[in-house]
Amino acid sequence: MKFFVDTADVDAIRELNDLGMVDGVTTNPSLILKAGRDITEVTREICAMVDGPVSAEVVAEKAEDMIREGKILAQIADNIAVKVPLTWDGLKACRALSQDGHMVNVTLCFSPAQAILAAKAGATFISPFIGRLDDIHLDGVDLIADIREIYDNYGYETQILAASIRSVNHIIEVGKIGTDVITAPPGVIKSMANHVLTDKGLEQFNKDWAKTGQKIG
């Protein structure tokens, strides 16, 4: 399972990247706003740091404008994946950009039917938003399972990129299903290391070591 980091915070990306925990990065307009930096500048810096795909999102709503913006974004670096929304115009843009040799991440997917269309349009990645489905009392993990089954049935090469990850449990559940990629905020990825029994065991080891009166080195 590949790990993409869902942020435009270069310091957070660098920390995880240095540990080998970054296979790619996803950004969106909200994350760019949070970073408070120019989109071209911050995206170029991220692309230089990370070897894998870096998703940069168009903001236009019409296909021709998405294509124009996508081509501009793709010029930032060779590892840009142009991010387009799962609308009819977004699918048109996906088709044009993918046929032009660009990686395309089709985002805001909420149904298996949408995922099929994205694969047919040549998407490199499909991004189902599982957390947002959970928010409206639907099981987002079930969506990943449905897409996995359909893609495997027909040999679609589009990679499933589980997005809107809210918890470590989300990562484990979609990993069991066989998602190709997860994208999550840095804090969620780092929290994978946490376990109450690890903390308890470490506390006991430290207490016992103190009683020995020894030092290492």
Looking at the chain, the whole-number percentage of residues with pLDDT higher than 90 is 99
Q: Which residue has the tokens 């942020």?
A: 7
With respect to CATH, is domain 2-212 assigned 1.10.260.30?
A: no
Over the stretch 89-120, which tens digit does the pLDDT of each residue have?
Answer: 999 999 999 999 999 999 999 999 999 999 99
Using pLDDT thresholds of 50, 70 and 90, give the confidence band for residue 217.
confident
- Residues 6 and 204: their CA atoms lie apart, in Å, by 36
Nearest CA to 7 among 77, 37, 98?
A: 37
Question: CB–CB of 23/1 below 8 Å?
Answer: no
Residue from 2, 83, 190, 211 carrying the catalytic annotation? 83
Over the stretch 17-66, which tens digit does the pLDDT of each residue have?
Answer: 999 999 999 999 999 999 999 999 999 999 999 999 999 999 999 999 99
DSSP 22-49: -SEEE--HHHHHHHTS-HHHHHHHHHHH
Q: Is 179 helix (H, G, I), strand (E, B) or coil?
A: coil
83 is annotated as an active-site residue: yes
Question: CB–CB of 4/181 below 8 Å?
Answer: yes
Q: Is 178 helix (H, G, I), strand (E, B) or coil?
A: coil
